[in-house]
Structure 1
Amino acid sequence: MTRSRSKSIPDHEIIIVGGGICGAAVAYGLAARGCRVTLIDAPTRTNMASRANVGLIWCQSKFLHLPDYARWGFHSARLFPELTRELQKISGIEIPVHYRGGIIACLGEGEYDTRREYIENLGQVLDSYPGGMISRGELEKKLPHIKFGKEVSGAAWCEEDGIIEPLALLRAFKVAFSKLGGTFIETVAYEVQPRNGGFLVITEQGPLNCERVVLAAGLANRRLARFALPELPVYADKGQVLLVERMPYVMPIPVLGVSQTFGGTVIIGFRHEFSGHDTGIVPEDVATEGIWATRVWPELGKKRLIRAWSGLRVMPEDKQAIYSTLPGHPRAFLLNTHSAVTLAAAHARYLPDFIVGAGLPDVAASMTLKRFGYDCQL
């Protein structure tokens, strides 16, 4: 991977600030189209949100109130097999992935009925839905090596969900990007300034000049976009996670909230907390998650807890992705989403065209800053 440490002000065609899965997917897509792209990411021992990510490709039971966003997720999921084949071929990196569906376990008949009603309504809004409710017996047939707790009454099932190793996906994006001619600079970006019709990105290694800039830096976009927006409508959504010791691999179909990794460990977590940038672990909160998980899968209660940690998700104010130019700056682009894994295939396929001047796909056309009252030239 090419790393630049120049102190001059070189010219770049497109600079993407933020090398997580969202930024890396778009960088890869642009490089595949022959664009001269520079990807900037801060040096870190961890891969930010990707280290606190189970890697679910998850569409089911989402966004009844935002049907286009639901359709966008399903469309991206259908693009994943082609994307992973392509990435593996170019990067040479094997990406562990299963496209075998996904499960939401229900505890008790009341929870089962509530979930069923939601899915029925979602199916009506979308005109079709690739899944539905399954009985406890059907659930046990799908995951025959798991002995579910006595309270588990059945589950919601969606055939188009899946699970992928998020760090392998991220690495494959970056290696493929580099092999396609992209430039990677490992440095901190402090500020973006408009300059002569383009932009100056102020970094720890010095300023970089570009024609187009793409802000894909998660929560840091609030700081980086201040040249155009006084307040970006995104906030931190904290999740707290438990990791259980390695077990025999018995869960090729992920269960939301208690999923087994490809290495055999089990990640437990489903919380959404809004406490600013506080990343402290709250023992009583993660204990609630652990108790729930043992009700679903009692065997976990006999296993050793390896560690607990928290992570900050990026959450747009209305929970829908933002793909937009910035007000007054048609060559400055903002990308913010909390579904970076699920939407990675759509991001790699469609957002590069948006960045070089085409519009957004019809299903994503409303996902701009205009919905927050900003005047954006598209």
Structure 2
Amino acid sequence: MTDYDVIVAGAGMVGAAVGYGLAGLNRRVLMLDGSDTDLRAAKANFGLVWAHGKGINDPAYQRLTIQACEAWPEFAARLEEETGMALAYERKGGLHFCLSDADLSARAAQMDVWHAQTPDLAPSAHVLNRDELIRRFPSMRLGAEVAGATLGDLDGQVNPMRLLAAMLAAYLRRGGALRSNHAVTAIHPLPGGGFEVVAGGFRARAERVLIAAGLGSSALGPMVGLDVPLRPLRGQILVTERLAPLLPVPASGLRQTGEGTVMIGVTQEDVGFDLSTTTEGAVRMTRKALRILPDLAKAKLVRQWACLRVMTPDGNPVYASSVSHPGADIATCHSGVTLASFHAGAYAEALASGGLPDSLRIFHHERFNVPKNQ
């Protein structure tokens, strides 16, 4: 006998979304989470729901991201209706600024490649030169170096902390069980099928187990034949005081929140598990931001923090089922906000049905085991 249908190890962006979806499919779900001091990628989430430019040279990831962004309006509306919590989600497009003519030309060529990968999909990104950019967004006061930008129609933004809180609240409303301060320490396959999951002195049994513990997945995966190579990537973020509107839509590395603060980021630093903030990182981020929006020079910075992203060798997600321990799965990515609609929808449905679709096979971690000479 088992206590649950599924035990989810991890209640961050990925685990919470999948758990929320499974609970809505009448599955008995237990979510086990660590403490607030754990290495949570959600702490440094920029809050972008972003498609354009993702998956260059990887059409499968491109399609997955576009699919997730297209599902976001319905996903957000349903979550807000279930919880009464405002997510501050909006989809008005997203910009990638270019700071020279050469940069804009290179970005345009990149978007041509991106669109050519999926010729059956309608183009969702457009190149805007400086004049077109100003006509489209007349309220923006751009720096002299801004040559233009690319605009993604499917892109948007959300308050990431409200999103996580809403998914957990909705999960509990749907009958899911959650134990905080219960980081999973062991997963034991049971004779005849199923698993016993250990979290310190707590134990529970389930027919299936999903590992969605971020960087902690590296320790748990091998227990059930899912050894996924993961590494931390530090991201630093700055936030200003509240300002009058100056950025009408989010941009890559720059967005104004619904409260008026401006978030500036994000660094990509391969420094292991070092969570320090640095002056060098702050200077690099602010210099670029000021080249785009000079009015930010008048703003006060009120906070700087860092967190660790969960990265695979190629930067793409991993979705895999264990061959040696049927019923065990792993899901990890660094785009937990963008892919939340997919995790709560199609991915949760696949888990509930007992197996992943063929379309997700390309995201199996065995792709990293190909010999280098092949």
TM-score by length of 2: 0.93
Q: CA offsets per residue over residues 255-299 of structure 1, 9 Å max, x none?
A: 111111121111111321112111112211221111111111111
Q: CA offsets per residue over residues 96-139 of structure 1, 9 Å max, x none?
A: 11111100011010110110010011111111421221021222
Structure number having the greater strand percentage:
1
Q: 2:224 aligns with which of 211, 224, 228?
A: 228
Displacement over 4 Å in runs of 4+: none
Q: Paired residue for 1:349?
A: 345
Q: Paired residue for 1:263?
A: 259
Q: Paired residue for 1:293?
A: 289
* 2:192 matches 1:200: no
Question: CA 1:295–1:266 in 2, change beyond 3 Å: closer, same or farther?
Answer: same
Report the residue type matching 1:59 in the other structure. Answer: A
Offset, 1:362: 4.8
* 2:203 matches 1:219: no
Return the alpha-carbon distance in structure 1 between the equivalents of residues 322 and 217 of structure 2.
11
Answer yes or no: is the 8 Å Cα contact 1:192–1:225 preserved in 2: no
Return the alpha-carbon distance in structure 2 between the equivalents of residues 64 and 198 of structure 1.
39
Q: Paired residue for 1:92?
A: 84
Q: Paired residue for 1:303?
A: 299
Task: Report the number of matched residues.
Answer: 366
- Match of 2:95, SS state, is strand
Consecutive unaligned residues of structure 1, counting only runs of 5 or more, are: 1-8
Return the alpha-carbon distance in structure 2 between the equivalents of residues 235 and 369 of structure 1.
14
Return the alpha-carbon distance in structure 1 between the equivalents of residues 135 and 39 of structure 2.
36
Q: 1:104 aligns with which of 79, 96, 104?
A: 96
Q: Paired residue for 2:26?
A: 34
Question: CA 1:47–1:93 in 2, change beyond 3 Å: closer, same or farther?
Answer: farther
Q: Paired residue for 1:6?
A: none
Offset, 1:173: 0.9
Return the alpha-carbon distance in structure 1 between the equivalents of residues 38 and 135 of structure 2.
38
Question: CA 1:278–1:23 in 2, change beyond 3 Å: closer, same or farther?
Answer: same
User: Percentage identity across aligned positions?
Assistant: 32
Q: CA offsets per residue over residues 326-372 of structure 1, 9 Å max, x none?
A: 24012011001111111111111111232234543454331113323
Return the alpha-carbon distance in structure 2 between the equivalents of residues 31 and 292 of structure 1.
43
Q: 2:168 aligns with which of 174, 179, 182?
A: 174
Q: 1:143 aligns with which of 130, 133, 137?
A: 137
Answer yes or no: is the 8 Å Cα contact 1:166–1:341 preserved in 2: yes
Question: CA 1:140–1:363 in 2, change beyond 3 Å: closer, same or farther?
Answer: farther
* 2:181 matches 1:189: no
Stretch of structure 1 that moved more, 266-275 or 20-29: 266-275
Answer yes or no: is the 8 Å Cα contact 1:314–1:338 preserved in 2: yes
Report the residue type matching 1:271 in the other structure. Answer: T
Return the alpha-carbon distance in structure 2 between the equivalents of residues 189 and 181 of structure 1.
21
Q: Paired residue for 2:68?
A: 76
Question: CA 1:358–1:138 in 2, change beyond 3 Å: closer, same or farther?
Answer: farther
Offset, 1:311: 1.0
Report the residue type matching 2:25 in the other structure. Answer: R
Return the alpha-carbon distance in structure 1 between the equivalents of residues 43 and 137 of structure 2.
26
